[in-house]
């Protein structure tokens, strides 16, 4: 979130660094009842909760689960993470015992254009510079485990290729946690006999790794290892799949991930405990923090607030149809985040004109929010709309949003946690508690496990995106059929498409109709246990802009500056 | 070191995991007087000493510095790290206040053939599985900083190349902490306009990164940043050097290394404090742990034991002529490690025949030890020879080594810390203390700063390797002259050659004569501040063997197994 939101004179990193941090062992003891011996500290303000302790919680009852999602993202900014942090602080502010679960930010984009992913203003998790850089090393562990498998594949081919891997059909790329477009497509193993057999290869950013998705969906270390073994890394000339297990790679990969799988505990600016753990892409993967963090948090707090990636069409749908389906989670309430600025953009206003009142555009842009509200209801979940307040919001605009939401059967509440911390979101917190107390949530998955794979894609396209249909070439449909025959038919599908629109056209704001969803390509994540349907161009390795953030990042007097 | 050395029924990892570890905060408090607030714990058994605390030690007197080095390495194994650990435990055993400084192991080779680098038997630093895998994340930070610079270079070219980088003359490769031969030589930026300008590129292993060498030679974070800015990343068509500073990359790189630069504290099996920090290659770099760890240790303990890479010809020479020269360190005693097995290999015995007594071969192989002893004396340093005991060593063999060493003016002492811990090296410790008390050390650098670069190479070749001469093509000599004109003439030289022989022929064991040292290529490490002279083939990205160690590494019941 930009520091200019409220003309706040301090940047996020300045607020974070000026905060009075409490020792994480004290936070854990006092707020969650976790003794020091059940924590592995990483410095004084970060800790991992030991997996033995996590296991010991199995018999305890679960708290209530609140999902924060949003309208379709726009360049105006919505503030989903800020709301997740602010709402949890607010729940504590009104006297509840609440904690939150977020995704870990990727290091690479910190040097590109993206701001940090630790909230903003007075609704942040801290220490933000640690969280946005190496944190507790989880992503480095995932990178290492992924690339160990890559090295073992080319090494197997080098030493005689007894498994008969077709080097044209290696499905496993390499990863790096860096925005480096030069690595998207490479030819490797050049330079002669000693370096192997040249072939086309490439790198994705670490968050796009299937190891990341597996890491976030695995119940425990044993489940993690089993899933790592299931990864399909290549095919033979006869199209027979070769798995990581065939290279006996999964044990060593699990060894590299042994410490990483334990949830990371930090705190908000208000001392609220927060798990920040795992961070898969929200396009080719499901885009939520780890199952281990969410299930552990539910044992530790009465209210657990978590967020899903992108807008509710992509993020909430995957949270429910992939993560909840597999981990047995049942949300009790959904918070849909919007801003008046962003709704005006959905109504056709340009970014430079957002400070002017425009009720007509706002009303038009409400169509986007309306569709997300309807979608959440389809999942059987009650919702509240949380509007992040900006200083340019006018009374008439606020009144319009509230009135329109009321007509949709959902309450819209203004939230000002960015400037005020938890107190600023107290009304949202009260509304959330009221909804949960009413016990209306009754989770319905969108499709059953045994629906054919392409029918699953079609169901999401029609029910959630409101497309007329989903389309695909015969080769794509044949591939899905083949996977069904191989026993993968019961997997959920994960749709990778632009997050900026319900359609596959990022410029189609609001609530577009009269389009279809073309499935260009399908990929099998046999370890993560979902089938990815790629609709449109999806970038799995970002590039850096002309003047990257790295240009401003520096260390002065032992402190990091310029990170935002 | 193989577990079969003494028919010890336990592997190194089993000994490490069975050890009663003390909390690192307790070790720091009790043995070094460091309060908890000056440490950043990483779990309960690893911690970083804060750089503010490191700075506060500046006025304290220095302890004594003991360098552990070795004969030319053989496949029989010498046990240099084991001796470093055992000797430090032994110094504490005889009542001294001692600590040790080691290099951090590289993660990549743990999955290849190399064993761990945390000592062995009952002379280990623990927890060995942490130290050998991610440890405190320093190498991941170095990898990230290195690859950020790589990404910024290609990004600069992509966005118009205003600095005029000649893409054929990019000198900065990428790194990964993995043995992956497929990445040695690649073509990157394939796939069209969006991915940049295709060019030849490649990866080294992280320990070969100049960032690693800089990290280990930098005095503090400010010095680190300055040196990072000095890195030459490429040349223009007119051969004008382009530096990391020209891309304004050094600030963001330093931000990534901010936490890593603080020394890592762990303990030996006997609770002796140990810094394990930094680990540059010993061929294209200087092969010693960080200056920050060594200088800090000297403020904290009366005796500091540290080791240099490979044999004394490469490791000790670089320790003295690069690290000591630049950091103002002065060793008080040198310990030269040998085994009777390895000396017999230098005398021509094959590995499978090492268990048989062979006095003739042993006497012949003593020539290797003799030359290293003479070399150490040239540096003005007193030495003791520590012979790691193996069960097959015979009384006659031991007597022969002792007698021959006496004739060389140096005492040879049998050490059995591998089986017995510190007690097993008590005699070595006593001899070391006696030598230090006699105050004989009077460090002489091998060459002055203002000797021309090629003369420096020649001096090392003749004085240390005992070559007839050093040779190089005109192009190499011209390159060195050009660097002298550019102001790099005062830098020390770092010779990259095989560690297995004084010559460039790895099969020439013992003490070869009648050879010359051909300099094939020279490289300028303008940030690390040395000139690398490459003599023979030097591999900066290892490969994996047919059956890599990864095959046996696994996690069982939450414990890592198969790592050695």
A550 to B144: CB separation less than 8 angstroms, yes or no: no
Give CA–CA dist A207/A140, Å, rounded: 11
Residue with tokens 């199952």: A291
* A80 tagged catalytic: yes
A76 labeled part of a ligand binding site: yes
- Count of CB atoms situated within 10 Å of the CB of B51: 19
Whether the Cβ atoms of residue A15 and residue A122 lie closer than 8 Å to each other: yes
- pLDDT of A116: 65
Nearest C-alpha in A relative to B47: A43
- For the cut 80, the answer to whether the pLDDT of residue B564 exceeds it is no
**Cα angle A41, A42, A44; round to 5:** 75
> A92-112: string of b/e by CB count within 10 Å (b at 16+)?
bbbebebbbbbbbbbbbbbbb
Give me the DSSP letters along A97-157. -EEEEEPPPPSGGGGSS---SSEETTEEEE-HHHHHTTTTSHHHHHHHHHHHHHHHHHHHH
Q: How far is B555 from chain A (nearest CA, A)?
A: 5
Residue at token pair 């705190």: A267
> Can you tell me the distance from the alpha carbon of A392 to that of A5, in angstroms, rounded to the nearest whole number?
9
Q: Annotation-wise, does A338 bind a ligand?
A: no
Strand B39-41, strand A521-525: pairing: unpaired
Per-residue pLDDT at A1: 37
Residues of B in contact with A196 (CB under 8 A): 181-182
Share of chain A above pLDDT 70, in %: 98
Judged by CB atoms closer than 8 Å, whether chains meet at B555 and A221 is answered as yes
What is the residue-averaged pLDDT of chain A? 95
Which chain B residues touch A191 with a CB distance below 8 Å?
Answer: 184-185
- Give the pLDDT score at A563: 84
Q: What is the structure's pLDDT at A8?
A: 53
Q: How far is B33 from chain A (nearest CA, A)?
A: 19
For residue B380, the Cα-to-chain-centroid distance in whole angstroms is 22
Q: If you average pLDDT over every residue of chain B, what do you get?
A: 95
Is beta strand B412-415 parallel, antiparallel or unpaired with respect to B493-496?
Answer: unpaired
For residue B477, give the nearest of B419, B529, B518 by alpha carbon.
B518
Q: Under an 8 A CB cutoff, do B184 and A178 touch?
A: no
Place of tokens 């049942």: A330
User: Do residue A151 and residue B252 have CB atoms under 8 angstroms apart?
Assistant: no
pLDDT at A18: 83
CATH class of B3-137+260-438: alpha beta
Q: Which of A80, A326, A344, A404 is catalytic?
A: A80
The residue-averaged pLDDT of A431-456 equals: 97
Which residues of chain A lie closer than 8 angstroms to B42, CB-CB? Answer: 40-43
Selected for mutation to probe chain B from A105, A153, A155, A201 (highest B CB count within 10 Å) is: A155
| Average of per-residue pLDDT across B379-401 | 97
A418 is catalytic: yes
Kindly tell me if the per-residue pLDDT of A507 is higher than 90: yes
CB contact at 8 A, B88 and B272 = yes
**Of A6-15, A212-221, A441-450, B280-289, minimum mean pLDDT range:** A6-15
Q: How much is the pLDDT for A4?
A: 37
Query: Cα-flanking dihedrals φ and ψ of residue B394, to 5°?
Result: -100, 160
Across the interface, whether the CB atoms of B148 and A560 are under 8 A apart is answered no
Which chain A residues contact residue B189 at CB under 8 A? Answer: 181-182, 185-186
Give residue B1's pLDDT. 37
Q: Are A273 and A265 in contact (CB under 8 A)?
A: yes
CA nearest neighbour of A157 among B177, B114, B546, B201: B546
pLDDT tens digits, residue range B293-323? Answer: 999 999 999 999 999 989 999 999 999 999 9
Is the Cβ pair B180, A543 closer than 8 Å? no
Quote the CA–CA distance of A365 and A511 in Å, as a whole number.
8
Please tell me the least confidently modeled range out of A74-88, A165-179, B215-229, B318-332: A74-88
The confidence score (pLDDT) of residue B550 equals 94
Whether pLDDT at A7 is above 70: no
Tens digit of pLDDT for each residue in A411-427?
Answer: 999 999 999 999 999 99
* Residue A564: per-residue pLDDT: 72
Residue A127 annotated in ligand binding: no
Q: What is the pLDDT of residues B457-481, one digit of tens each?
A: 999 999 999 999 999 999 999 999 9
pLDDT tens digits for A217-243? Answer: 999 999 999 999 999 999 999 999 999
CA within 13 Å, CB half, A364? 14
pLDDT at residue B118, as a whole number: 85
CATH 3.30.1510.10 in chain A, residue ranges: 138-254
Q: Is the pLDDT of residue B7 over 60?
A: no
Contact A522, A454 (CB under 8 A): no
Q: Determine if residue A6 is left, alpha or beta; phi over 0 gives left, psi from -120 to 50 gives alpha, anything else beta.
A: alpha
Q: Per-residue pLDDT tens for A350-384?
A: 999 999 999 999 999 999 999 999 999 999 999 99
Residues of chain A with CATH 3.40.50.300: 3-137+260-438
Distance of residue A26 Cα from the nearest chain B Cα, in angstroms = 14
Kindly determine whether residue A158 and residue B181, on different chains, have CB atoms separated by under 8 Å. yes
> Of A244, A289, A286, A245, nearest to A264 (Cα)?
A289
Which of B152, B550, B561 to probe the A interface (max A CBs under 10 A)? Answer: B550
A294 is known to lie in a ligand binding site? no
Structure tokens at B101: 């400084």
How would you class A477 by CB atoms within 10 Å of its CB: exposed for 0-12, middle for 13-18, buried for 19 or more? middle
Residue A88 has pLDDT above 80, yes or no: yes
Angle of helix B250-257 versus helix B221-230 axis, rounded to 10: 140
Span B270-277, average pLDDT: 98
Residue contact A548–B152, C-beta within 8 A:
yes
Distance between CA A323 and CA B380 in Å, rounded? 67
Q: For residue A54, what are the contacts with CB-CB under 8 A and spacing of at least 6?
A: A220, A262, A263, A292, A296
Tokens of B264: 């890592």
The answer to whether the complex's ipTM is over 0.90 is yes
A74 is in an annotated binding site: yes
B87-102, pLDDT tens digit by residue? 999 999 999 999 999 9
Residue A310 is a catalytic residue: yes
Residue A209 predicted with pLDDT over 60 = yes
Q: Which residues contact B240 (CB under 8 A, 6 or more apart)?
A: B164
- Write out the catalytic residue numbers of B: 80, 82, 103, 114, 282, 310, 390, 418
Place of tokens 């009663």: B20
Q: What integer pLDDT is reported at residue A347 of this predicted model?
A: 96
**Domain B138-254, CATH homologous superfamily name and number:** Domain 2, N(10)-formyltetrahydrofolate synthetase (3.30.1510.10)
Residue A275 has pLDDT above 60, yes or no: yes
pLDDT tens, residue by residue, B326-371: 999 999 999 999 999 999 999 999 999 999 999 999 999 999 999 9
Would you state the pLDDT for residue A145? 98
How confident is the model at residue B276, as a pLDDT? 98
- CA neighbor of B274 nearest in space, from B21, B443, B70, B561: B21
Q: Encode A435-483 in three state secondary structure.
A: HHHHCCCCCCCCCCCCCCHHHHHHHHHHHHHCCCEEEECHHHHHHHHHH
A364-381: string of b/e by CB count within 10 Å (b at 16+)?
bbbbbbbbbbbbbbebeb
Instruction: Tell me if residue A135 is catalytic.
Output: no
Cα distances (angstroms) measured from residue A370 to each of A341, A508, B157, B271, B325: 16, 16, 45, 64, 71
Q: Where in chain B is the domain with CATH 3.10.410.10?
A: 453-534
In terms of pLDDT, which residue wins out, B537 or A277? A277
What size, in residues, is chain B? 564
Contacting residues of A for B187, CB less than 8 Å apart: 186-187, 190
Percentage with pLDDT > 90 across chain B = 91
Between helices A138-158 and A250-257, what is the axis angle to 10°? 160
The residue of chain A with its CA nearest to that of B246 is A551
Percent of chain B residues past pLDDT 70, beyond the cut: 98
The label of the residue with tokens 């065939």 reads: A246
Of A320, A306, A326, A338, nearest in space to A442 by CA: A320
Q: How far is CA A172 from the centre of its chain?
A: 22
A3, pLDDT greater than 50: no
CATH top class, domain B453-534: alpha beta
Point out the catalytic residue in the list A172, A203, A275, A390.
Answer: A390
- Tell me how far the alpha carbon of residue B444 is from its chain's centroid: 21
* Residue A79 in marked binding region: yes
For residues B513 and B519, what is the distance between their CA atoms, to the nearest angstrom? 18
pLDDT tens digits along B478-532: 999 999 999 999 999 999 999 999 999 999 999 999 999 999 999 999 999 999 9
CA gap A267, A23 in Å, rounded = 9
Q: What is the pLDDT of residue B2?
A: 38
Structure tokens at A136: 């507790």
Q: What is the pTM of this model?
A: 0.96
Chain A residues near residue B188 by CB distance under 8 angstroms: 182-183, 186
DSSP B63-122: -EEEEEEESSP-TT---HHHHHHHHHHHHHHTT--EEEEEPPPPSGGGGSS---SSEETT
Pairwise CB contact (< 8 Å): B134 & A140: yes
CB contact under 8 A, B111 and A252: yes
CA distance B43 to chain A (A): 4
CA atoms within 13 A of residue A130's CA, in its CB half-sphere:
24
Residues with Cβ within 8 Å of residue A242, at least 6 apart in sequence = A163, A165, A232, A233, A234, A235, A236
Q: How far is Cα of residue A147 from the mean position of the Cα atoms in its chain?
A: 22
What is the DSSP annotation of A172-212? Answer: --EEESS--GGGSSEEES-SSGGG---EEE-EEEGGG-HHH
Q: Identify whether B5 is preceded by a cis peptide bond (ω within 30 of 0).
A: no
Length of chain A (residues): 564
pLDDT band at B4 (very low <50, low <70, confident <90, very high): very low
SS3 B147: helix
**Per-residue model confidence as pLDDT tens digits over B407-433:** 999 999 999 999 999 999 999 999 999
User: What is the per-residue pLDDT for B10?
Assistant: 80
What is the C-alpha R_g of chain A?
23
């Amino acid at each position: 979130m930009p520091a200019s939101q409220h003309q706040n004179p301090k940047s996020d990193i300045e607020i974070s660094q000026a905060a009075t941090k409490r020792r994480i062992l004290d936070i854990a003891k006092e707020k969650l009842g976790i003794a020091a011996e059940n924590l592995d500290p990483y410095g004084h303000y970060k800790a991992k909760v030991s997996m033995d302790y996590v296991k010991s919680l199995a018999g305890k009852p679960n708290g209530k689960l609140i999902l924060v999602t949003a309208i379709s993202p726009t360049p105006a900014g919505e503030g989903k993470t800020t709301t997740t942090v602010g709402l949890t602080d607010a729940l504590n502010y009104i006297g509840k015992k609440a904690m939150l679960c977020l995704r870990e930010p990727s290091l690479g984009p910190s040097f590109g254009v993206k701001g940090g992913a630790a909230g903003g203003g007075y609704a942040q998790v801290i220490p933000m510079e640690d969280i946005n850089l190496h944190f507790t090393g989880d992503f480095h562990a995932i990178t290492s485990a992924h690339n160990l498998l890559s090295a073992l594949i080319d090494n197997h081919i080098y030493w005689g290729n007894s498994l008969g891997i077709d080097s044209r059909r290696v499905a496993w790329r390499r990863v790096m946690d860096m925005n480096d477009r030069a690595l998207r497509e490479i030819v490797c193993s050049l330079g002669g006999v000693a370096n192997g057999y040249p072939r086309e290869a490439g790198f994705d950013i670490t968050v796009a790794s299937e190891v990341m998705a597996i890491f976030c969906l695995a119940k425990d270390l044993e489940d993690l290892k089993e899933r790592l073994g299931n990864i399909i890394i290549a095919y033979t000339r006869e199209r027979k799949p070769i798995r990581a297990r065939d290279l006996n790679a999964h044990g060593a990969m699990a060894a590299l991930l042994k410490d990483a799988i334990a949830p990371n505990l930090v705190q908000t600016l208000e001392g609220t405990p927060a798990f920040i753990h795992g961070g898969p892409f929200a396009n080719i993967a499901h885009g939520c923090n780890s199952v281990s963090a969410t299930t552990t948090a539910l044992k530790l707090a009465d209210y657990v607030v978590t967020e899903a990636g992108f807008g509710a069409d992509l993020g909430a749908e995957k949270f429910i149809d992939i993560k909840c389906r597999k981990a047995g989670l049942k949300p009790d309430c959904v918070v849909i985040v919007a801003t008046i600025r962003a709704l005006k953009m959905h109504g056709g206003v340009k970014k430079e004109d957002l400070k002017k009142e425009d009720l007509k555009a706002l009303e038009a842009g409400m169509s986007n929010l309306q569709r997300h509200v309807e979608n959440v209801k389809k999942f059987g979940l009650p919702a509240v709309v949380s509007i992040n307040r900006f200083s340019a919001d006018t009374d008439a605009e606020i009144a319009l949003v509230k009135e329109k939401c009321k007509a949709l059967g959902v309450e819209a509440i203004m939230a000002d946690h960015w400037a005020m911390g938890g107190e600023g979101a107290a009304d949202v917190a009260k509304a959330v508690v009221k909804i949960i107390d009413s016990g209306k949530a009754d989770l319905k998955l969108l499709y059953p496990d045994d629906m054919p794979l392409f029918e699953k894609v079609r169901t999401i396209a029609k029910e959630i995106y409101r497309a007329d249909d989903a389309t695909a070439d015969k080769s794509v449909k044949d591939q899905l059929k083949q996977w069904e025959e191989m026993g993968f038919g019961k997997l959920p599908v994960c749709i990778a498409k632009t997050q900026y629109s319900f359609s596959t056209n990022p410029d189609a704001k609001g609530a577009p109709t009269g389009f279809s969803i073309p499935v260009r390509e399908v990929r099998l994540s046999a370890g993560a246990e979902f089938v990815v349907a790629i609709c449109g161009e999806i970038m799995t390795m970002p590039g850096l802009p002309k003047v990257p953030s790295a240009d401003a990042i520096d260390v002065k007097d032992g402190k990091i500056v310029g990170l935002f």
